[in-house]
Every structure is written in structure tokens, then in C-alpha cells.
Structure 1
Amino acid sequence: MIEKTLPNGSISRSKLGSTYLCLHGHFYQPPRENPFTHEIPIESGAAPFLNYNEKITAECYRPNAEEGNFAEISYNLGPTLAAWLEAHEPDVHQLIIDADRKHMERYGVGNAMAQAYNHTILPLATTRDKHTQILWGLQDFRHRYGRDAHGMWLAETAIDLECLDILAQYGVTYTVLAPWQAATAIDPTEPYTVPLKSGRSMTVFFYNGPLSGGVSFDSASTSNADVFASSYLPGHLVREKIDNGEPQLILIATDGELYGHHKPWRDKFLSHLIQHGAPEEGFEICTLERYMLLQPPTKEVQLRVPSAWSCEHGVARWGTGCSCTEGESNWKPVLRRALSRLAERGDLLFEQYASEILEDPWAARNDYLALRNGWESEESFWTRHGKGGQRPSALLEYRAQRLLEAQYYQQYSFTSCAFFFEDLDRIEPRNGIAFARRAISLIWQAIDVDLQYDFLQDLLPARSWRTQKNGVDLYKELPAVEDGLLPPFPLHF
């Protein structure tokens, strides 16, 4: 081994066989399609591309896929983004899927992780919705990759013990967290076990906070992959482990769009780092499930719950509001309450009316994704979920499908970005409201029950601190739809 002292006093050692580097990319785009037309409106900020999905594909997803970066890193591909890529950029989608297969052929384990389906902040979801979000994410993964997922990325790494236990029930064995989500002191260069109910457990990897933050926000740190490997990485190794020859892992986790979209040409940085920069400084590139095989966790950890990677206040950023965003955040609990109350009303109607058609409406909802996307035949679905194993009449089938589709869009309305940013009058909250309106429309079509009026009443107190528009203003500004698809709009709003 070769050891050298760097100008900053840190130690770099070449050919450290027990020192590993993992780069994780969280590749995700929220759905921006009009839920009535299923088309993304032209987004002028993405010019010369028609929308940001096209722009980010050209700048990030395609170059990273073509350069082979996906085969070397740990990554998750959000289901809503994957569906768009599959439909509009199928060659890029296939390259990303093939990367996991190549990793499996080489190491016996994959390197792709699943993602909870709608990027919902799970600690704020009901228990039933947690199950659906996790199951839909696992089903989408199985369809795309042809295998069961063993790891799952949770939106904003937001966790409570219940969602970790549900993951474990469905066969997920590991996830990624921020170091400040640990309740006690930890060494982020090794994985830990979280004990759960009934003897279940979850392995958690804590990413390196300073390095992940530096890669995300300090452009100078990622201007040269060789310098990054020789000057930045070694200072984050545990010297005692080096001296004792103990294995250690540096995990850098960032949004995947960083590599080429948020920071131009960083796909080249990533490629050089994993192919040359890090290996030449003695770091072995390794992914998370592979590391679990090589070095299983030996210590337990207690977690701060609920907690997330981008909020110092548990999960208040997406719930009650907090100082993590500028300005007034009192619109956030109002919007969440409006969406939650709509979902509660929709759930009651779904259970009441769908129970006449489906043996177990909630089990049918959990399996609806496969029917909706054509992964399961209608005959198979109705044999498993229809009353008495029978397909219903055309009228009742229409009603059931509209009610299931309403549930689908209720889930979409809780996408995390609706609450992430600083103000109500943005595209993200508008989209959350648009998905809720689609659920209202579907219930109206199915059973002639008007949920719009109460939703508008609940939305009214939500107000933008920048433009003074309220939630009803945003609802009224949504694109027009055909007559009859929504209840009559109340005149006094």
C-alpha cells in the first residue's frame, strides 16, 4: 500500500482493498401531465425542448445511460419518470433497465432500488396508503426489471417505524437515510440494522452528509474527478479502520439529475470518477446490495422518527410547515387538510360502492396498477377480485373502474413536491390540486356524488404569500374540461 499526506492533512492510500465508494442517484421527475388529456403542457422554460422531461433526458438520462454510469452506481428510477421514458424515450428506458441486468450478471445482485410509487411522504400517509404506495412501487419495479426489489428509496428519505416495518413485510431488506436521521451517534462508513416488530429488521445505509451536500451544491468540488478522489474522499475515511484494515464504505447520495442537468457535464465527472479517479486512489466502486453481501451490518441503530433528509423539523416541511422554506408556510397544512379530507370522503364512497362489485376493494386497489397498465388481463383481475370471482355487468364494471381510477389520482395528489417549496402559487401545488380534481371528476362520473363543493371550501383558506391567490383561485385556473366531467361549479366561489 502507498500512503501519502495531502496538503490539507488528510490521508490518501492507494489500493485500499477494503475501502469502497458507492454513488447513489435518485432519478425522479414528478408527474406533470394534465390528468384529463395525459399530455404534458408545453413548458417554455424547457425551450428548445417541449417540456422538462425531454430536456432532462437529453442532458442527464441519455448521456448517463449511454456512458454506462447506471451499471456502476446504485440508483432508483421513479415509477412516474420510468413510465414517461418507456413511452417517449424507450431506448433510454431500456438502457437503464439493462444496467441492472448487467450488474446482476457480474455480481449476482442488482444495483437498482425500487421507489414508493408517488413520491409520497410516507410518515404523513395513512397505514393503508403506505401499503399501497410501497406495493405499487414494488409491482412497477418487478414489471420493469423482471425481479423483486430488495432495496427501496423512500421520498426525501422520510421514514417512521411503521413504513420500515411494511417494507420488511414485503421483502425489502435495505434503504438509504441521512446521517441526522439516526437518534444516536453512528459511523456512516458502515450499514446498521433497525430492529422492527415480530423479529423483522431493516438494513439502513447512511450517506456521507458533507460529501453528498458538496457534490450537490458546491460546483467546485465536482469540477475535476481526479482531484475529488484524491483530495475530498480520503478525508472522510475513518483512520482507525484504515490502521486496522477494517472495511468501510463512503456513500454519496444525490438527486440523479445533478449529473448533467443541474450541473452541466457532471455525467462526465461521474463517469471518470467511477472508472478512473476513485479506483486509482484505492477505492473500489461498489453498490449497496453487493456491499451487504460482502460486509453485512453488525450493529443496531435507533432512528429519529419521523424524519427526512431535507427537513430539520421531522416532516413538517410537507405537513404543518416550517422554516425550511422562506416566507409563510401556513398554506401547507391547509392544502394537506383539503387533500386529506377529500381522500377520506373518497375512501368512504369507494368502500361503500366498490364493495358491491369487488370482494375486497382495498386488495383490488393494491392490484389495480397491473390492470391499469395492462400487465394483467381484465379476465385475471376480475377472477381474483370480482364478487364471487365473476366479472360484473358492463355498468358495474364501468363504475368500479372509475372508482379505482379515482383512488389512483387521490394517490397522485399527495406527491411530495406539492408541499416541498415555499409558496402555494407554483406549478407543484397546482398539479396536486389538478390530480384531486381528476379524482372528483371520476367519482362524479361513477356515482353522481359531488365532492367538489367541500373540497373548494377546504381549499379557500390556503393563500399564496407572494401573489395572494387562494386555493380556489388555483383550482379555477386549471385547464377547462368537457361539460359533464365535473359537478357544476358553485357560483359563490
Structure 2
Amino acid sequence: MSQTHPGSVYLCLHGHFYQPPREDPFTHILPIESDAAPFKNFNEKITAECYRPNAEAGNFAAISFDLGPTLAAWLEQTHPDVYRLILDSDRQHYQRYGVGNAMAQAYNHTILPLANARDKRTQILWGLQDFAHRFGHPAHGMWLAETAIDLESLDIMADQGITYTILAPWQVATPIDPTEPYLVQLPSGRTMTVFFYNAPLSGGVSFDGNLTSNADVFASTHLPAQVVQEKQRAGEAQMLLIATDGELYGHHKPWRDKFLSYLIRHGAPEHGFEICTPERFMLMHPAQKEVQLKVPSAWSCGHGVARWSTGCSCTEGDSRWKEPLREALNRLEERADRVFEQRAGAALHDPWGARDAYLSLRNGWISEEHFWKQYGRQQPSAEDMHHTRLLLEAQYYIQCSFTSCGFFFEDLDRIEPRNCIAFARRAISLIWEATGIDLQQEFVSDLRQTKSWRSGVTGAYLYRQLPVVSAWKLPALQ
């Protein structure tokens, strides 16, 4: 268990490990990605360069990390040895300190402030269900996509047992000392502990290759520059938190897995820094001060969350394509939700509660019998049950269509927006199969309003370029 060390300076390194789903939603096959050569796709390339070497070196056991559900599922299927090593890292930390070092993640990497309350709840619950199944204990921390926050999301997290998250220092409305955690008062009266990462160190590690070329120099020169000397003289504990994409360590920056390994075992400890994780620090030094947040806000957008909604100057070129794409997806979801409530209600007494539990059914973590006993109406017909499963699967793909990377980059004519459109088409197909209701025509019409500033193609064109679907699964486009 953790012991308090007054005046200690702790170093926490958090890695956000995530890959979006890249598989075709109809065939579930990952396409060949030529840019990843000599590997078949980027998942394989990043595993070889980052996930495997860091797992085999034991780096996951020392750092704080979140493992995105879509990445975890892919690793479990294709590289189970790497997957087990990562899960074992959290178990080792739990056995040593009484708390894990893995954080959950909102399931589809959705920008939660842009989601409605019902979707926020589903995303958070699915993320927690996935975490508990994989790691064997409830999550107490949750990483939010792009650290995008609003108070409603934090309140739902707190209601589900989440006690802390990590944010950027510019997401606050009042001055802070980033070497300590803070409490955020939530509308319900609950609180959330927030850690703020050290901006100079996190930015330097992410973007300055020279900064991470020598772990001893980093620990002897750059870390001490961020220590608050007054707190150290007063015997107050403090933590320097470095948060980055986990793929930095070996993929984005070759050999940085070696830097990380040496830093946590030698560089930092030999220069007076104790390696720590947020929940362990909370046990020793609970947050005492309150802070107000800027909401909505995120770590990679200086305009609230406009990067994923209306577009902004955080990406190059003309980002006005983002707003009509989001509107098209929102309008599709509204229509799909009405169908779901009306048609699934024939078999489910609580359709939205059933959706919240659907991930566990879909992945085989609970039985059909258990699911229908809890959410089904008395004696639904076999036909109603079949159609309801199709509608629940459509809801799953509607959630996939809001994956943040579809809006993160500079242009519509990229694989990420294409994938979001493909997920939407899968949902449309399932709804058509279950009910005969055609949501395709209006969605494609909406997609005509979104246009690539580079190639000039519209979202409707990208939709039509997707692989042909059997006629019985989708009506013909007009």
C-alpha cells in the first residue's frame, strides 16, 4: 500500500493508447493500408513499434494509461500475448499499491460535450463495462476523448463511480498549480478530482525530439525546472504529470520506448523523482482545493470543441465541412432513435436501459437469457426479439459514427470521415432490415451539403463510393 512521503516530488507519465475502428462494418475485415508497409495495416505497424516493445519492457506497469476499447478488442484477437501483458501491468500495480494504474475510456472516443445526455451515459457505461470485463475491477479514473469536458459528462461519470480524470491546464477558469489535484463541484453536489498535466513537459515530450533523446539529461535538467521550490522547501508533496498519446513511445518517435523504460527505472529515480500514478497520489494526498473549469473545452482545440463541430482554425484549410457532416449524423441519429423507441418497445420495457447493457450482450459477457429477463417484455415473439437485436446493433453503429477522429483532421476526403459515414450506413442497413424503414435517402441528401475543400467531393459521393451492399440489405439510392 502507498505511504506518504512529505516533500516528495512524484513523476507520473500517462499514455493515451487508442486506435479507432478501421474494419469494414459489413465484413469486419481491416483493409490493406499501403502507407503502413511492410505491415498490412497501421494497427500491426503500431503494435510492432509501440504496444509490443512497451509491454515486453514492463513500461505499462509503471505509467498511468488508458487502453481504448476498440484497440483492446483488436489486440485481444490478434496479439493476445501483448494484450495479456498490458492487463497484467494493471494487476501488478493493484497488488503493489492497492489501486490500479489503468483508466477507462468513454467507449467510442466520442466528443462527449457534443453528445446528448443519453449518448453520454451510454458512452460512459460502455467504457466502464469494457474496462471491468478486461481488467477485472471497476475503473476509478476515466480518460475523455481529447480531454473534452462539460459538467454534465463529469456528473454522469461521478454517478457511475469515477473519481478522477486528467485535463489540460488551459481547461480551467481560475489559476492553478498543476503539481497538485483539484476538486470540481458538480451540479448534483458530487465532486470530481481533476489532475492537470504539465504543459511544457507534455508538449516537449510530444513534439521536441531533442528533449527525449537522453533520459538522464531529461531527468536532471528538464524535470527540476518544473518543480515548485517553495512547496519543496515547505515539505509539500507535488506531482509532475506528463500526458501524451501513448503511440509516441516508439511509433510517432522511434526508440522512445527505450527512453521511457530508462526514465522510469533509472533517470527519474536517480535524480530524486518517484514514479507515481494519479490514483496512488490521491490516496496519499487527496485534493483539498476547488477549481472552476472552462466548459466545453478540450486539449487540442483553442475554440472550445469547435474542431469537432463547426470547424475552426485548429486545422488547415476550409473546415466548414465539419458542421454539415455533424448535422447529417445528428439528424440520422434523431430519426434512428425514434424508430428504435417505437419498434424496440414491442420487445423491451426499457429500450434505452437495454441499449446501455447491449455492449455486454453483444460481446457475450452476459447471456441472452439474462439480458431478456432484465429488459424484455413478457414473452416477446421470436420475430420481435430478432428485429430488436438488429435495432440494438444499429444503435451500436450509430455510436461508432461519432468517433472523434472523423472530425479531427483537416479534410472530409480522408479515411476517418469515410469510416464515420460507413458506420452510419451500417446502421441504416440494419434498420431497413429490421423494419423496412428507409433512412438512407434523407441521410445522403444531408451529406450533399458537406464538401471537401481539397478534392471537391461531397459526403454523398463518399457514401456512394463505399462497397456495394446486397440489395436486400439496403434500398436503391435515388
**TM-score band w.r.t. shorter chain:** over 0.9
Matched AA of 1:251: L
CA contact (8 A) 2:7 2:231 kept: no
SS at match of 1:148: coil
Whether 2:381 is the aligned partner of 1:421: answer no
User: Which residue does the alignment assign to 1:274?
Assistant: 264
The partner residue of 1:256 within 230, 243, 246 is 246
CA contact (8 A) 1:312 1:324 kept: yes
CA contact (8 A) 1:194 1:201 kept: yes
The partner residue of 1:400 within 361, 367, 388 is 388
Whether 2:134 is the aligned partner of 1:144: answer yes
Whether 2:432 is the aligned partner of 1:471: answer no
SS at match of 2:472: coil
Whether 2:43 is the aligned partner of 1:53: answer yes
User: Which residue does the alignment assign to 1:488?
Assistant: 476
SS at match of 2:184: strand
Matched AA of 1:51: N
User: 105-114 or 236-245: which moved more?
Assistant: 236-245
Matches within 5 A, 1:379-394: 379-388=369-378, 390=379, 392-394=380-382
Matched AA of 2:391: L
CA contact (8 A) 1:20 1:283 kept: yes
Deviation at 1:198, TM superposition (A): 3.2
SS at match of 1:387: coil
Deviation at 1:199, TM superposition (A): 2.3
Matches within 5 A, 1:369-380: 369-380=359-370
User: 468-477 or 392-401: which moved more?
Assistant: 392-401
Deviation at 1:345, TM superposition (A): 0.2
CA contact (8 A) 1:184 1:301 kept: yes
User: 481-490 or 243-252: which moved more?
Assistant: 481-490
Q: Deviations over 1:64-114 (max 9, x none)?
A: 000000000000000000000011111111110010000000001000000
Structure 1 segments, 4+ long, off by >3 Å, are none
Q: Deviations over 1:303-362 (max 9, x none)?
A: 000000000000000001101001001100000000000000000000000011101000
SS at match of 1:128: helix
User: Which residue does the alignment assign to 2:295?
Assistant: 305
Q: Deviations over 1:113-159 (max 9, x none)?
A: 00000000000000000000000000000000110000000000000
Matches within 5 A, 1:409-448: 409-448=397-436
Matches within 5 A, 1:329-344: 329-344=319-334
User: Which residue does the alignment assign to 2:438?
Assistant: 450
Q: Deviations over 1:236-272 (max 9, x none)?
A: 0111112212111000000000000000110000000
SS at match of 1:194: strand
CA contact (8 A) 2:196 2:241 kept: yes
How many pairs align? 474
User: Which residue does the alignment assign to 2:231?
Assistant: 241
User: 201-210 or 481-490: which moved more?
Assistant: 481-490
TM-score by length of 1: 0.95
CA contact (8 A) 2:394 2:430 kept: yes
The partner residue of 2:284 within 291, 294, 303 is 294
Q: Return the alpha-carbon distance in structure 2 between the equivalents of residues 467 and 211 of structure 1.
A: 38
Identity %: 71
Structure 2, unaligned runs of 5 or more: none
Deviation at 1:418, TM superposition (A): 0.4
Matched AA of 2:126: W
User: Which residue does the alignment assign to 1:20?
Assistant: 10
SS at match of 1:330: helix
Structure 1, unaligned runs of 5 or more: 1-14
CA contact (8 A) 1:62 1:92 kept: yes
